Amino acid sequence: MILFFWLASSSQNVGIGTTSPSSSAKVEISSTTSGLLIPRMTTTQRNAIATPAAGLLIFNTDNNSLEMWNSTSWLSFGSLGVLNNGVAVGPTCNGVWSLKGDFLGTARSSAAGFSIGTKGYTGTGNDGANKKDFWEYDPLTNVWTQKADFGGTARAGAVGFSINGKGYIGTGYDGAYKKDFWEYDPSGNNWIQKTDFTGVGRSSAVGFSIGSKGYVGIGYDGTDKIDFWEYDPIGNNWISKADFSGGGRGGAVGFSIANKGYVGTGQTSFGSFKKDFWEYDPIGNNWIQKADLAGTSRTGAVGLSIGSKGYIGAGTSGTPKKDFWEYDPISNTWIQKADFGGTARLSAVSFVVGSKAFVGLGSGSAKDFWEYCQ
């Protein structure tokens, strides 16, 4: 002990496992049989650290990544590349589609999907009958694994999103319009019923998360809906927000980029296909119309975001589509990207893991899945 304190106080460089530490290192550890183990914790535990110091390192057990606080955000270093608060940074792949392993459940349309950490999830939908099976996809191994069935009734047209390591599925249609809402915990592989969606039951709504809150709205229950609601998983309660300014519809897409939500496309019950596009600001609780989708009007499209860009593709306006468009919220412009790699379709499902999007299932008895690399 005396020797240790003498080294700590008098030496410029400390060696562990070596008597000649590098002059450029305050501490050098030398070993061929063991490594350095830093604090391991979940995202929730990490977020509870009060005033982290710039350069603070932890290992996040939710996404199996080394993470560093850079004074404004957590940078993650793992198998999915470099993430800034969960958003991919760094090189892109120039919009390439790659065929992945087929979904192992039955071919279906109108499923719900979301991602948690390094895995994607999808379930429910309709293959001629409503479904409640639920599956996990691992992009690293390209393997599908069946998980615990969705906790509610078999259904199609539900919404799905994730918040802080938990997944959520609710609403939809099982012969009646649904408003129940369920939370999936991947660590326990179990579903817990949460407070029902406070609006009326509905199908073909939109759902997305911004930060620690979820948002669900519009859709169809025999009439076109315009209401919009915020879900707080901590309080397990719903709060009514500003009605969607674009008018009632079903079959629209919704996603978030940074701290804003986006909703567009869809179809009214009178048969009118839409291409308008709207931004939701949760702080101001207001909607702002943005540039229309540059492609044709449609319903049943997929919508997703990767990093700072949004994407809309596929769907139908009477004929199934496979075009794919990128939205830049800074310039408020759309750019056409490479067509979706599979056949034209509607009512597909999508989720994003790191810097990659995954799109599959949908009309035409499709069970293929495709990776899009930005």
**All structural domains of the chain:** 1-36 (no CATH), 96-373 (2.120.10.80)
pLDDT at 278: 98
What's the Cα-to-Cα distance from 282 to each of 75, 228, 231, 245, rounded to whole Å?
25, 11, 12, 14
Q: In 3-state terms, what secondary structure has residue 9?
A: helix
- Segment 203-221, tens digit of pLDDT: 999 999 999 999 999 999 9
In degrees rounded to 5, what are phi and psi of residue 268? Answer: -85, 165
Q: DSSP for 77-117, please give it.
A: EETTEEEETTEEES----SEEEE-PPPSS---BS-EEEEET
- Identify the band that residue 125 occupies on the pLDDT scale cut at 50, 70 and 90: very high
Q: What is the pLDDT of residues 152-189, one digit of tens each?
A: 999 999 999 999 999 999 999 999 999 999 999 999 99
The pTM of the full predicted model, rounded to 2 decimals, is 0.77
pLDDT at 10 over 70: no
**Residue 142 DSSP symbol:** T
For residue 66, give the nearest of 82, 55, 77 by alpha carbon: 77
Which residue has 């977020």 as its token pair? 47
CA angle 163, 68, 72 (to 5 degrees): 70
Residue 187 CB contacts under 8 Å (≥ 6 apart), including other chains: 165
Cβ distance 349 to 111 under 8 Å? yes
Query: In the predicted model, what is the mean pLDDT of residues 132-153?
Result: 97
Q: How far apart, in whole angstroms, are the C-alpha atoms of residue 348 and residue 268?
A: 19
